[in-house]
């Protein structure tokens, strides 16, 4: 029996995780569920999965959740705040943590799970992008097991040899090929991108996801963050990581070997596949995802990415090359810019311009530890906000 904490259980990944867990009650038990503000959904999840603990973002939300749970006769204890998130991520009573909070808010609880040596299922790519070496050191030093949930990285993981030890050249790996759908604006006239609305940007052609990652997919910053994520997960230098646009999202990513072999993982675009893979690893369990009907799909297309259309992808490669805190600055500026775009405070093309400006004005430094990293994250957010209002 695996006992699981789901950080961000009311989000898109959280809900898919609970869907897989519900199919295998004999294998998985939920220890804790967490949500920021969606108290009613969380109460419903508590009623169904009976966790020991539920964590929310504020005292007010905790009060509301406690009342709902009392009314329904559910005995789950309610806590709130960042420290409670770290506590349920590192509790002795849980062995597996699904890290599915969106953005930098997920860093400290994800890191707490790594430090506690958990089996860590990582969806929260921003945490790894920000903290890089710090995160990987915590995993290694505490013998945590890090399994990628991002569909591309999960695909790559499946295409690498079992013995893979973050040294591509030692395993005959020539390239890691991250596929990208290209998002909703792949074929839209570049000149018209300035006027796209948040509704258009979040309408992803293949995947149903949270709003932030949907905007990241439209700018292709999502792929940029994934390039950095792949660097840390697989120990690959930037020039060994290639992005290939594949609009159908059927091939989730590939690994190219020195002998000319190209291994790919294919499937329907449904996050329950990588979630089930990581939950059961190294076994396989049913996920609820149907088999891929290639005859019906008929054709798979590929094209090279265009940095003019998608400048965010280039900015992410630049940050990876620069090293130090550059990726954390990129991530912070992007989070502020995406939120401002969703709030209609800036236009779509201002997202990349703002990140560029922040990266230009804030030099990357070496990161001496978590406090220093959080300080540099704060500085980047402050500068991004100043650029928006000035
Ligand atoms: P979402 O917006 O649907 O859900 C986010 C979850 O995080 C919610 O449960 C929310 O309550 C919680 N949360 C938000 N802000 C918080 C805060 N400040 N403190 C604590 N909790 C907070 O997002 P999502 O699409 O499920 O994505 C989650 C993570 O997984 C992201 O990092 C994303 O990049 C990654 N990811 C998602 C997908 C996908 O298909 N949705 C695929 C790959 C990777
Ligand atoms: Mg992905």
Q: Could you read off the pLDDT of 137-159 as tens digits, one per residue? A: 999 999 999 999 999 999 999 99
150 lines ligand 1 (CB under 6 A): yes
Strand partners, 7: 99
Q: Tell me: do 19 and 139 sit in the same domain.
A: yes
Mutation pick for ligand 1 pocket among 13, 32, 277 (CB with most ligand atoms within 8 Å)? 13
| pLDDT digits 0-9 by tens, 4-44 | 999 999 999 999 999 999 999 999 999 999 999 999 999 99
Q: Is residue 336 part of a domain?
A: yes
Q: Tell me: do 61 and 197 sit in the same domain.
A: no
Domain residue limits at 196: 153-268+294-307
Q: Tell me: do 248 and 336 sit in the same domain.
A: no
206 labeled part of a ligand binding site: no
Mutation pick for ligand 1 pocket among 35, 213, 339 (CB with most ligand atoms within 8 Å)? 213
pLDDT recorded at residue 69: 98
Question: Does the reported pTM lie above 0.95?
Answer: yes
Chosen domain end from 148, 174, 199? 148
Nearest CA to ligand 1 atom 39: 209
Q: Is residue 289 part of a domain?
A: no
- CA distances 386 to 18, 159, 270, 299, 379, Å, are 40, 44, 39, 47, 11
* Closest ligand, as measured to the CA of 42: 1
Q: Check whether 92 has a pLDDT greater than 90.
A: yes
Q: Check whether 204 has a pLDDT greater than 90.
A: no
Count CB-CB contacts under 10 A for residue 96.
20
256 labeled part of a ligand binding site: no
Give the mean pLDDT of the chain: 97
Q: Which atom of ligand 1 is nearest to the CA of 150?
A: 43
Q: Tell me: do 25 and 131 sit in the same domain.
A: yes
217 labeled part of a ligand binding site: yes
Q: Tell me: do 175 and 251 sit in the same domain.
A: yes
Q: Tell me: do 218 and 139 sit in the same domain.
A: no
Q: Is residue 316 part of a domain?
A: no
Q: Tell me: do 12 and 142 sit in the same domain.
A: yes
Cβ-based neighbours of 285, under 8 Å, separated by 6 or more: 20, 23, 24, 27, 276, 279
Taking the C-alpha atoms of residue 214 and residue 75, their distance in angstroms, rounded to an integer, is: 36
Q: Check whether 390 has a pLDDT greater than 90.
A: no
Q: Tell me: do 143 and 158 sit in the same domain.
A: no
SS3 270: coil
Q: Check whether 205 has a pLDDT greater than 90.
A: no
Span of 84-88, 116-120, 162-166, 377-381 with lowest mean pLDDT: 162-166
């Amino acid at each position: 029996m695996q006992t699981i904490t789901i950080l961000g259980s009311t989000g898109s990944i959280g809900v898919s995780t609970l869907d897989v867990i519900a199919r295998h009650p004999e294998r998985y038990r939920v220890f804790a569920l967490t949500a920021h503000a969606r108290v009613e959904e969380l109460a419903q999840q508590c009623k169904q999965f009976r966790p020991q603990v539920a964590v929310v973002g504020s005292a007010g939300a905790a009060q509301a959740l406690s009342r709902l749970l009392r009314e329904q006769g559910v005995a789950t204890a309610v806590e709130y705040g960042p420290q409670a998130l770290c506590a349920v991520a590192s509790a002795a009573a849980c062995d597996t943590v699904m890290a599915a909070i969106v953005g930098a808010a997920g860093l400290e609880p994800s890191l707490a799970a790594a430090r506690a040596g958990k089996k860590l299922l990582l969806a929260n790519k921003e945490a790894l992008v920000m903290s890089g070496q710090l995160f990987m050191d915590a995993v290694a030093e505490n013998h945590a097991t890090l399994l990628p949930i991002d569909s591309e990285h999960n695909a790559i993981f499946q295409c690498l040899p079992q013995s893979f030890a973050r040294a591509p050249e030692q395993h005959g790996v020539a390239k890691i090929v991250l596929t990208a759908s290209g998002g909703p604006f792949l074929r839209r006239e570049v000149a018209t991108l300035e006027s796209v609305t948040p509704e258009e940007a979040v309408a992803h052609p293949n995947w149903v996801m949270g709003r932030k990652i949907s905007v990241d997919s439209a700018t292709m910053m999502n792929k940029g963050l994934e390039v950095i994520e792949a660097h840390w997960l697989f120990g690959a230098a930037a020039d060994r990581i290639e992005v290939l646009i594949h609009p159908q999202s059927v091939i989730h990513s590939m690994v190219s070997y020195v002998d000319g072999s190209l291994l790919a993982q294919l499937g329907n675009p449904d996050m329950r596949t990588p979630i089930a893979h990581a939950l059961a690893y190294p076994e396989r369990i049913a996920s609820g995802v149907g088999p891929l009907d290639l005859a019906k799909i008929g054709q798979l297309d590929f094209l090279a990415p265009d940095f003019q259309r998608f400048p965010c992808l280039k900015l992410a490669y630049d940050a990876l090359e620069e090293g130090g805190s550059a990726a954390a600055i990129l991530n912070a500026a992007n989070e502020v810019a995406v939120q401002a775009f969703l709030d209609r405070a800036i236009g779509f093309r201002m997202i990349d311009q703002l990140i560029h400006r922040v990266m230009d004005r804030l030099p990357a430094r070496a990161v001496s530890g978590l406090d220093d990293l959080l300080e540099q994250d704060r500085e980047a957010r402050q500068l991004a906000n100043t650029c928006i209002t000035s």
